[in-house]
């Protein structure tokens, strides 16, 4: 009981500290989500080391699993509520072509990777679909797809760890080498227009703690997100009952239905102006994603992780490289400039959070808003796109 209480405190306290000190070097380098996984992995490694010394010690798996499921099911609608998807109509044809080429690249490369390699590994179809989710949207999409298909926690952690390592290496490439390399292949910006009208979109991944406060309106939005998660769970329970109430199958139906429900209703809520403009939803949503990430990573069984980490790292590494190459080729064929190519790539592979840093690096602030908009679109479509592809892979 004491271990479970300490574990529960850590699951909710560590993410709070990460957000509080998100400007430290480690969080700037790995990102807040990457830092949550990193600290969780450190905890899991310590537990693994203690057990290797012959001392039996383990965290409560139920606490980690229940906490992670609850956190992500409430986080997803909160993050989607904040996404101003209406702003997509202000994107120019150049940006739309570039982002569409990124999405198509992710689908093609993930599909090739599945049929060439992943179909021969355990959970290869789901892992390939998760890649589409994360490379068009972000980490929430990857984990939502994993939960929809009931993937084992160790495999989910392996996918997240692989994405974190590859993402960190590729981000260095984006900062230092990507533009000089692509400039030899793609044209520079000339008279390109990226948005056709003034946009007031905010960075939904920005952790503005100075202006953050718990208000009645924010509390009502959190309760709304929780209510949506409960509604999704009830739908799942109803599906289980309709299909015969088979023992051991309730969670298999409840979790996927809940994930789909919170995603759909989260998108619907984003079109309601009063919901969308509620301040602080993104901070709470990001906090709950960190809770999910730390809870999942700290529960990793390293004795099992060793058997799956190698092939997930290879799979995601090859998909990342393939998406970059194919997206660049499409940009050449579509006559998209190098800056726009880089920003839509960043928006897809990393989400809105990393867009401002890259636009600053390439000295093109005109692409900050388009990057934020396309990143939000990716959050909205990533889960569904990945889920559909998984079903097709399984045929």
- Dihedral sign, Cα of residue 115, residue 118, residue 122, residue 127: negative
**pLDDT at 392 exceeding the cut of 90:** yes
> What range does the domain containing 130 cover?
2-188+230-394
What's the whole-model pTM score?
0.85
**Domain assignment present for 147:** yes
When pLDDT is averaged across residues 45-69 and rounded to a whole number, the result is: 73
Q: Per residue in 67-84, pLDDT tens? A: 777 888 888 898 888 877
**Domain assignment present for 127:** yes
**Domain assignment present for 25:** yes
pLDDT band at 58 (very low <50, low <70, confident <90, very high): low
**pLDDT at 63 exceeding the cut of 70:** no
pLDDT at 111: 96
CA nearest to 200, candidates 281, 305, 99, 87: 87
**pLDDT at 56 exceeding the cut of 80:** no
Q: How far apart are CA 93 and CA 179, in angstroms?
A: 22
Number of domains in the chain: 1
**Domain assignment present for 333:** yes
Q: Per residue in 365-377, pLDDT tens? A: 889 889 989 988 9
**Domain assignment present for 182:** yes
Do the Cβ atoms of 294 and 14 come closer than 8 Å? Answer: yes
**Domain assignment present for 382:** yes
pLDDT at 248: 67
When pLDDT is averaged across residues 292-315 and rounded to a whole number, the result is: 81
**pLDDT at 153 exceeding the cut of 90:** no
Find the DSSP H helices in 59-123: 61-81, 93-116
pLDDT at 152: 84
**pLDDT at 133 exceeding the cut of 70:** yes
Q: Is 21 helix (H, G, I), strand (E, B) or coil?
A: coil
pLDDT band at 124 (very low <50, low <70, confident <90, very high): very high
**Domain assignment present for 173:** yes
Q: Per residue in 324-364, pLDDT tens? A: 999 999 999 999 999 999 999 999 998 887 888 889 888 88
**Domain assignment present for 237:** yes
**pLDDT at 294 exceeding the cut of 90:** no
Q: Which residue has the higher pLDDT, 50 or 387?
A: 387
């Amino acid at each position: 009981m004491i271990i479970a209480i300490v574990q529960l405190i850590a699951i909710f306290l560590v993410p709070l500290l990460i957000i509080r000190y998100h400007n430290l070097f480690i969080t700037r380098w790995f990102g807040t989500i990457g830092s949550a996984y990193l600290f969780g992995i450190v905890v899991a490694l310590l537990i693994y080391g203690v057990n290797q010394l012959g001392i039996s010690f383990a965290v409560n798996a139920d606490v980690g699993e229940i906490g992670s499921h609850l956190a992500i099911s409430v986080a997803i609608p909160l993050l989607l509520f904040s996404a101003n998807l209406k702003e997509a109509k202000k994107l120019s044809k150049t940006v739309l072509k570039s982002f569409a080429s990124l999405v198509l690249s992710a689908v093609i490369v993930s599909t090739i990777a599945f049929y060439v390699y992943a179909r021969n590994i355990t959970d290869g179809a789901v892992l390939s679909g998760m890649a589409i989710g994360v490379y068009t949207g972000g980490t929430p999409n990857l984990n939502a797809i994993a939960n929809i298909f009931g993937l084992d926690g160790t495999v989910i952690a392996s996918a997240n760890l692989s994405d974190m390592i590859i993402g960190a290496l590729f981000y260095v490439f984006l900062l230092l080498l990507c533009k000089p390399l692509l400039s030899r292949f793609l044209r520079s910006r000339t008279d390109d227009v990226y948005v056709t009208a003034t946009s007031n979109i905010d960075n939904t991944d920005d952790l503005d703690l100075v202006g953050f406060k718990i208000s009645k309106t924010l509390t009502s939005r959190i309760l709304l997100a929780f209510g949506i998660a409960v509604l999704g769970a009830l739908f799942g329970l109803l599906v289980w009952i309709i299909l015969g109430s088979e023992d051991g199958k309730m969670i298999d139906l409840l979790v996927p239905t809940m994930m789909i429900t919170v995603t759909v209703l989260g998108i619907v809520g984003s079109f309601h102006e009063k919901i969308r403009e509620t301040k602080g939803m993104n901070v709470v949503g990001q906090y709950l994603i960190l809770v999910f990430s730390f809870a999942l990573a700290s529960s990793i069984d390293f004795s099992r992780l060793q058997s799956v980490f190698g092939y997930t790292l290879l799979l995601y590494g090859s998909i990342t490289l393939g998406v970059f190459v194919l997206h660049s080729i499409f940009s050449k064929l579509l006559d998209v400039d190098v800056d726009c190519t880089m920003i839509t790539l960043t928006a897809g592979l990393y989400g809105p959070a990393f867009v401002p840093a890259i636009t600053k690096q390439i000295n093109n602030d005109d692409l900050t808003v388009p990057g934020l908009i396309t990143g939000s679109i990716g959050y909205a479509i990533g889960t569904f796109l990945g889920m559909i592809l998984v079903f097709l892979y399984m045929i």
